[in-house]
Structure 1
Amino acid sequence: MVRDLQGKVAFITGGSDGIGLATARMLARRGATVAICARRTDRLEAARAAIAAECGDAADAMVEAHQLDVSDTDAFAALVADVAARHGRLDMLVNNAMSVHYAPIARLTIDHWRKDFAVNADAVFIGTKAAMAVMTAQGSGSIVNISSTCGIRAAPMMASYSASKAALIQFTAVAAMEGARQGVRVNAIVPGQVQTPATEAYNTQAPDAAARTTDAIPMGRGGQPDELAEAIVFLLSDAASYITGVALPVDGGKAAQLYIPG
């Protein structure tokens, strides 16, 4: 793989598995210095080891892992600033960490609602604000926020998750307008079903429902984390230098689908 991102510094939340890990691996293979954070130290170490196995001994210097719950907004902002200060710059931020609670509105608690917003919207605001301060000063940077098809289409039992992911999309557009003249691009990816560890666990627990969900995707399958990472890295890179303020569905056609019951 071409190492065209050498000298670049990236920060990825929720970087220990799924889409975040796939993105971190891809950026590291292309030469970027990558900082990842997540809540579980065991998964963080496994992620660091996986990247090291692919990139060789140099990966120990290229990848750093930090235990962090992004809903601790003060700690999150401080970590973004620290990474930028130690490396002298921050070129890329991926707000990927997520929280989801499944319940009908009648049983959804205010604590569940607040937790989903704390991770999916508040932390995106905090991370973007901290990164934009650095990127504006250096005159360049790219931010990609990870939303969901649930942020643009309605599904029962997903009120807090859907509302927070919809807020993320609109926030992305506003941030893009504010950063445009400063050389800072801000975009969103809108994934559909992706075969992450959480999805695989659901498939095991509810195979019939999982099969129906997959069959309803126009392409007839869920996406792979690497397929999402390709889109994220494209938006982060100079190949997307004239793209800002978009919410790009990467969902096998699901968002474009007009559903007609059989």
Structure 2
Amino acid sequence: MAYNPANEVTDKVAIVTGAASGIGLAIAELLHARGAKVVAEDIDPAVEGLARPGLLPLVADVTRDGSAEKAVGLAVETFGRLDLLVNNAGRILYKPVIEMTREDWNWQMETNVTGAFLHSREAVKAMMPNKSGAIVNIASYASYFAFPGIAAYTASKGALAQLTRTQALEAIEHGIRVNAIGVGDVVTNLLNHFMEDGRGFLAEHGKKAPIGRAARPEEIAEIVAFLASDRASFIVGSVVMADGGMSVPIG
């Protein structure tokens, strides 16, 4: 029988954090287009513009106590279950360590790691009775490689990779797979809060990858859909690299 990837998430129920723009928006829209019911969560009220049948926006800060419970409760109460969590919300700031304040550090760690922890904890609780589910964390090639000026970001993404592996071992006995994507440069608004042309910077930096370009958010969304599907049933605790070859060692 021919397999149609367009049907692989049909009727699944998903939560996507950081869904107002960039990678999160592409993920929410792709999952919904392929038949999933989606709770699209973001601190930015612009996420409310995504509202349509089967796509429910939630304005919330992933770092705040209660936000994860609210997102999971909304998914279960509205759509009857939870099958997929995508921890995409993330922040970055360029500062050397000696100039970085504790507030700068916490601003990134709380979103990139603590928010993922809180949502993953609540999502697993909701998935356990069904003995199935998937969590996909949007990590980075910065999970493994150091870059001057982004110590908090690299530390947070390294922690996210380790959270992925550890929770994968805890959750798999309940039929829940936890994986991550090691994302490279993607043309998004990630840098726009402190850089005039953040999208242009990412597009230019992406040219350093062996593939010679940055990714489009839709390319990362396709990997999320795959990891959420039964085609990825044997992938557990992996960080799937999608960085255009940036992480390939060159001799």
TM-score exceeds 0.5: yes
Are 1:96 and 2:88 an aligned pair? yes
Bigger mean CA deviation after superposition, 249-258 or 218-227: 249-258
Structure 1 vs Structure 2 CA RMSD: 2.1
Q: How do residues 32-47 of structure 1 correspond to structure 2 at under 5 angstroms?
A: 32-41=36-45, 43-47=46-50
Q: How do residues 91-240 of structure 1 correspond to structure 2 at under 5 angstroms?
A: 91-198=83-190, 202=195, 204=197, 213-240=205-232
Distance 1:240 1:231 in 2: 10
Tell me the matched-pair count.
246
Gaps of at least 5 residues in structure 1 are 49-59
Distance 1:198 1:35 in 2: 21
2:188 alignment partner AA: T
Distance 1:211 1:23 in 2: 20
Distance 1:165 1:153 in 2: 10
Bigger mean CA deviation after superposition, 123-132 or 69-78: 69-78
1:174 alignment partner AA: T
Q: Runs ≥4 in structure 1, deviation > 4 angstroms?
A: 199-203, 209-212
Tell whether the 8 Å contact from 2:142 to 2:154 is kept in structure 1 after alignment. yes
Distance 1:76 1:218 in 2: 38
2:13 maps to what in 1?
A: 9
- Cα distance change, pair 220–34 in 1 and its aligned pair in 2 (3 A): same
Alignment deviations for residues 227-249 of structure 1 (CA, whole Å, 9 cap, x no partner):
11111110011110111100011
Are 1:28 and 2:20 an aligned pair? no
**Structure with greater helix percent:** 1
Distance 2:96 2:84 in 1: 37
Tell whether the 8 Å contact from 1:76 to 1:126 is kept in structure 2 after alignment. yes
Deviation at 1:225, TM superposition (A): 0.5
Tell whether the 8 Å contact from 2:40 to 2:56 is kept in structure 1 after alignment. yes
Tell whether the 8 Å contact from 1:45 to 1:65 is kept in structure 2 after alignment. yes
Alignment deviations for residues 102-131 of structure 1 (CA, whole Å, 9 cap, x no partner):
100010111111121111111111100000
Distance 1:4 1:211 in 2: 31
Q: Secondary structure at the match of 2:66?
A: helix
Distance 2:79 2:238 in 1: 29
1:204 alignment partner AA: D
TM-score (norm 1): 0.87
Report the identity percentage.
35
- Cα distance change, pair 47–61 in 1 and its aligned pair in 2 (3 A): closer
